[in-house]
Structure 1
Amino acid sequence: MSTNTVVPLRRRSNGNHTNGEAFNGMENIVKKPDDCYTNGNGGVERSKASFLTWTMRDAVYVARYHWIPCFFAVGVLFFMGVEYTLQMVPAKSEPFDIGFVATRSLNRVLASSPDLNTLLAALNTVFVAMQTTYIVWTWLMEGRPRATISACFMFTCRGILGYSTQLPLPQDFLGSGVDFPVGNVSFFLFYSGHVAGSMIASLDMRRMQRLRLAMLFDILNILQSIRLLGTRGHYTIDLAVGVGAGILFDSLAGKYEEMMSKRHNLANGFSLISKDSLVN
């Protein structure tokens, strides 16, 4: 009968000494027999709660090799304090947005230079066209529909959320007739389709090892985000969630491809073309 149990975020021991390699917390550690007991069903269970086996060396190890979750754990405690002490924005006032605060000077420059605002809007629209062209190209020309499926998922969910909770357009919004959506029409604020679409394209480029092109898109995405804050075209939360949405829907599209490939037993992977068409 095996006595192996999974102990997360612990040092890996070989019996005599601690292995100095970083441990991802998902491997099995053989526990001593006195740490386990056999239940009535013949299974093996722990006789101690996990935290009772922790040592100071474990704490040091976690802090050293798992500093990222430790950092976010400290962030949880910090923002718990902030949330309980922060005075909320009054109901009749404009929403507070730290990105708007950081781009006040850019907003003033664009407000005083309509031609510059129009130029940047036009360049941003060109970037959106680049995203769209790449995403559609991967499907129509390369036969890889994942990015296109991801974009369909993303924009549909964006429409549902944007309609469900309609945020007020900032008072300092600087529109342009050449901005996307072209014509300076109304649009959903939450979440940013500009940013999410860029992420979807960038992630696909990385899968295909088009690393320089992906880096270029990431840089343009950052510049686009700064402009959107400067023109008050999006709140900061729209941009942050746009990044997460791009990653999320790319992952969901990948899972959809995997599911459909298994269901239809496609030897050559997922395709939006029927098997009969592939044979012909």
Structure 2
Amino acid sequence: MTSDKLHHRSVPQTTTILKTPNNISINNFNLKKTPTHAPANGTTTSEWTGHGWSMAGASFLRWTAADVVGLFKYHTVPCFFAVSLLFFMGVEYTLSMIPSSSPPFDIGFAATVYLHRVLVASPTLNTVLAGLNTVFVGMQTTYILGTWVIEGRPRATVATLFMFTCRGILGYSTQLPLPEEFLGSGADFPVGNVSFFLFYSGHVAGSMIASLDMRRMRRWELAFLFDTLNLLQVVRLLSTRGHYTIDLAVGVGAGILFDSLAGKYMNSAVVAKDVDGSYTNRALLSSPYQS
């Protein structure tokens, strides 16, 4: 083989064509592809590409009784939410609002009236529970930082940074008053009866971030322990009026949201291709992991 032949050697190109059937089944629904048609001006449009709506090809015209039955059979969760939507629309239009001169109504406060009275009558018990809760916050912090510093997995740390930054912005944007029955303690975190952002609960969100990381690493027993302690933390915060119910509920969602956003960030930032074609690890410091 000559050098001339070596330089002119080529690899045959192959092309794979994926054929899409006209009838596509997604989640037990049949979606029929609308054929492309050419208008008089010569341009090509298609309902499938989403350039326009046409009642002639509307989806609901193809619905059958079997589709309706299948909707309730295979998609019970969205159907439940649809019924809930109608129910709460009725509640919203018929419920009398709390007067501005009255304290806010909180269903979590109503459910923990007895526990609140116990803590009022026993300041020592309130301090002990506050101290235990602070220990749990320390456990969260230790685990989240440990996943980065010791294990080299910064995702949970990044999620926590995202979460607390957003919490600070929202907490400052709408400053809610402390409940009138708030029971502070010098052993609580933040320490003492200081002002703090109520919306949303950083205690709960941090616990969720740690628990989600434990599940990714299949540390099931530890995740169960954190979830149990998080639930007890929720009950204590309601009993001491340290958070409104909505703060705690959004805290759960915030933990899930910022863990997901941190995962997307790490996937996009860990490895980047340099100009010369080589690859460089762009994770926080020298992490060998993407999560």
TM-score normalised to structure 1 length: 0.84
Measure how far apart 1:30 and its partner are. Answer: 5.0
Whether 2:32 is the aligned partner of 1:4: answer no
Paired position in structure 2 for 1:136: 145
Match of 2:136 among 121, 127, 134: 127
Whole-Å separation in 1 of the counterparts to 2:273 and 2:123:
55
Match of 1:199 among 194, 208, 226: 208
Structure ID, larger Rg: 2
Whole-Å separation in 2 of the counterparts to 1:51 and 1:168:
49
Whole-Å separation in 2 of the counterparts to 1:274 and 1:206:
24
Whole-Å separation in 2 of the counterparts to 1:196 and 1:44:
45
Whole-Å separation in 2 of the counterparts to 1:78 and 1:6:
34
Between 1:35-44 and 1:248-257, the stretch displaced more is 35-44
One-letter amino acid matched to 1:186: S
Q: Structure 1 unaligned runs (5+)?
A: 13-28
Q: Is the 8 A contact 2:156 2:210 kept in 1?
A: yes
Q: Is the 8 A contact 1:38 1:45 kept in 2?
A: no
Match of 2:60 among 51, 55, 58: 51
Whole-Å separation in 2 of the counterparts to 1:274 and 1:128:
27
Measure how far apart 1:86 and its partner are. Answer: 1.1
Paired position in structure 1 for 2:37: 38
* Distance change (3 Å), C-alpha of 1:234 and 1:207: same
Paired position in structure 2 for 1:77: 86
* Distance change (3 Å), C-alpha of 1:76 and 1:39: farther
Measure how far apart 1:81 and its partner are. Answer: 1.0
Paired position in structure 2 for 1:222: 231
One-letter amino acid matched to 1:193: G
Paired position in structure 1 for 2:159: 150
TM-score normalised to structure 2 length: 0.81
* Distance change (3 Å), C-alpha of 1:264 and 1:147: farther
Measure how far apart 1:273 and its partner are. Answer: 1.6
Paired position in structure 2 for 1:271: 283
Q: Is the 8 A contact 1:3 1:36 kept in 2?
A: no
One-letter amino acid matched to 1:136: L
1:123-169 Cα offsets, whole Å, 9 max, x none, are: 11100000000000001000111100110110111011111111010
1:204-260 Cα offsets, whole Å, 9 max, x none, are: 001111111111101111110011000000000000000010011111111111111
Q: Structure 2 unaligned runs (5+)?
A: 1-18, 49-55
Whole-Å separation in 1 of the counterparts to 2:72 and 2:279:
45
Whether 2:190 is the aligned partner of 1:188: answer no
| Percent of matched pairs sharing the same residue | 65
Whole-Å separation in 1 of the counterparts to 2:264 and 2:192:
36
Whole-Å separation in 1 of the counterparts to 2:198 and 2:151:
32
* Distance change (3 Å), C-alpha of 1:118 and 1:272: same
* Distance change (3 Å), C-alpha of 1:264 and 1:170: farther
Between 1:178-187 and 1:118-127, the stretch displaced more is 178-187
SS of 1:263 mapped into structure 2: strand
SS of 1:45 mapped into structure 2: coil
Q: Is the 8 A contact 1:174 1:233 kept in 2?
A: yes
SS of 2:272 mapped into structure 1: helix
Whole-Å separation in 1 of the counterparts to 2:193 and 2:82:
43
Whole-Å separation in 2 of the counterparts to 1:122 and 1:106:
17
Whole-Å separation in 1 of the counterparts to 2:213 and 2:245:
25
Paired position in structure 1 for 2:95: 86
* Distance change (3 Å), C-alpha of 1:100 and 1:211: same
One-letter amino acid matched to 2:235: I
1:93-116 Cα offsets, whole Å, 9 max, x none, are: 100100000111110111111111
